[in-house]
Amino acid sequence: MKFMEREKTEQNFKPKAQIKGIVEPKLVRIISFIIITLSLASCTVLCILAIWQFTESDAVWRAVATFIVVSLATGIFTIVNEKLG
């Protein structure tokens, strides 16, 4: 008899998975990492090309500015997503 009572109470108190933020935080971190890595890699390639004078320096500064904007936007989105949860 006690076994059945214990089984009923265990079924009633199962913890539910908590969802934090608007989007799943692990997915946000993965996407943020990919975006920042791709931006950083492209900026690095453009800087190397600019050093060897295969591209104009104007393109490098635009790439660096784009990298900064994308990194800040991705970072802010990550922080806001974690705080809303």
pLDDT tens, residue by residue, 22-40: 778 888 889 888 988 888 8
pLDDT tens digit string along 61-73?
888 888 888 888 8
The Cα 32–Cα 78 span in angstroms is 8
The Cα 57–Cα 31 span in angstroms is 29
Distances (CA, A) of 39 to 46, 60, 65: 11, 12, 10
Instruction: Map out the domains of the chain as residue ranges.
Output: 23-83
pTM of the predicted structure, to 2 decimals: 0.56
End-to-end CA gap in the chain: 41
